[in-house]
Amino acid sequence: MTTTHQLKQPYTVFLGDVSEAGYAKTGFGLAHWRPDVCVAQLRFEGCRVDLGLPDIAVDDLKQQQGSLVIGVASRGGIIADSWIPALVRAAESGLDIVAGTHVRVADIPELQAAARRSGARLIDVRVPPPSIPVGTGERRPGKRLLTVGTDCAVGKKYTALALERAMHERGMDATFRASGQTGIMIAGSGIAIDAVVCDFTSGAAEQLSPAADDNHWDVIEGQGALHHPSYGGVSLGLLHGSQPDAIVLCHDASREGLLGLEQFPLPGLNDAIASNIENGRITNPDIRCVGVSVNTSGIDPARREALLAEYQQETGLPCVDPLIDGVGPIIDFIAEEEQ
């Protein structure tokens, strides 16, 4: 059976010499969503980003356990030459090195040698596990919720994590299933779906969310958007393989055109819901939409409540901004439907 990435905890988050918070989004995501497993940050002199974690010096890495996770999403996905000595010291100390960069830590000779000496693992989370099977479409027990989008980068990961947290607070049995590199680091396991050869995407999604108890919810992080000409393929494969019982549509209220392809207009909310439902019925005839997650950060705050009310009237579903409203109304809607 194919296994997903399994990351050793706790995490020391590597920031190196990063100077802008925007390039440390992976580190901030880890510190926000998994503060219980983030025990320290490693910053070079001159680093202007602070995750609010205790600082640790390179010489003290031998006192750490678990993994050194690269929390920097650098331009071009590079591993800077200036980082290598610290990463080598970490690997020599026995820490696994975990990266979601395009450059693979497992391909760096100095790190290979250090890992061989200590037994540390070099884990590139954007490399899918081997021997992923072709999807079968066979139904499996358990409940599944998939976050989908009107576009890319509209909050699918954040929404899925917020839903998992809210479900736990309600006493529900739920697990966040990560399908992207930052989500994998947050969850400690997962498959980077966008790195899987397309014929095996649905099979990877089936492996990501295996059979479970009847009352268990897998909350699956979505990728891309069905209506996006560049990334609709990964969205479709993830939809078929996830076989979701429920979807939550994620939307950025400030956008008019698709990310990177602004000449293509965003689909309407109901059009996006209908497309996902139609395609999702291939593997789960009972799929339904249970809510809309709206990023309202780019609109006038005075318009926010009226816009959400408009969306709710349009879709007949709870419409919330998770950062402001939480996702409680969506959980309530799910509970009401199950009664």
What's the pLDDT band for 1 if we cut at 50, 70, 90?
very low
Q: What is the mean pLDDT of the chain?
A: 93
What's the pLDDT band for 154 if we cut at 50, 70, 90?
very high
pLDDT tens, residue by residue, 255-309: 999 988 999 999 999 999 999 999 999 999 999 999 999 999 999 999 999 999 9
Q: Is the CB of residue 50 less than 8 Å from the CB of residue 20?
A: no
HEC secondary structure over the chain: CCCCEECCCCEEEEEECCCCHHHHHHHHHHHHHCCCCEEEEEECCCCCCCCCCCECCHHHHHHCCCEEEECCCCHHHCCCHHHHHHHHHHHHCCCEEEECCCCCHHHCHHHHHHHHHHCCCEEECCCCCCCCCCCCCCCCCCEEEEEEECCCCCCHHHHHHHHHHHHHHCCCCEEEECCCHHHHHHHCEECCHHHCCHHHHHHHHHHHCCCCCCCCEEEECCCCCCCCCCCHHHHHHHHHHHCCCEEEEEEECCCCEECCEEEEECCCHHHHHHHHHHHHCCCCCCCEEEEEEEECCCCCHHHHHHHHHHHHHHHCCCEECHHHHCCHHHHHHHHHHHC
What's the pLDDT band for 73 if we cut at 50, 70, 90?
confident
Q: Identify the pLDDT of residue 3.
A: 56
Q: Identify the pLDDT of residue 4.
A: 66
**Span 165-169, average pLDDT:** 96
Same fold, 5-124 and 143-338: yes
Report whether pLDDT(144) > 80: yes
CATH T-level fold of 5-124: Rossmann fold (3.40.50)
**Tokens standing for residue 150:** 């009107």
CATH T-level fold of 143-338: Rossmann fold (3.40.50)
Phi, psi values for residue 105, rounded to 5° = -65, -30
Which amino acid, 124? D
pLDDT tens, residue by residue, 16-55: 998 888 788 899 999 999 999 999 999 999 898 999 999 9
pLDDT tens, residue by residue, 174-216: 999 999 988 998 988 899 998 899 999 999 999 999 999 999 9
Domain boundary assignment for the chain: 5-124, 143-338
Surface-to-core class of residue 46, CB atoms within 10 Å of its CB (0-12 exposed, 13-18 middle, 19+ buried) = exposed
Surface-to-core class of residue 269, CB atoms within 10 Å of its CB (0-12 exposed, 13-18 middle, 19+ buried) = buried
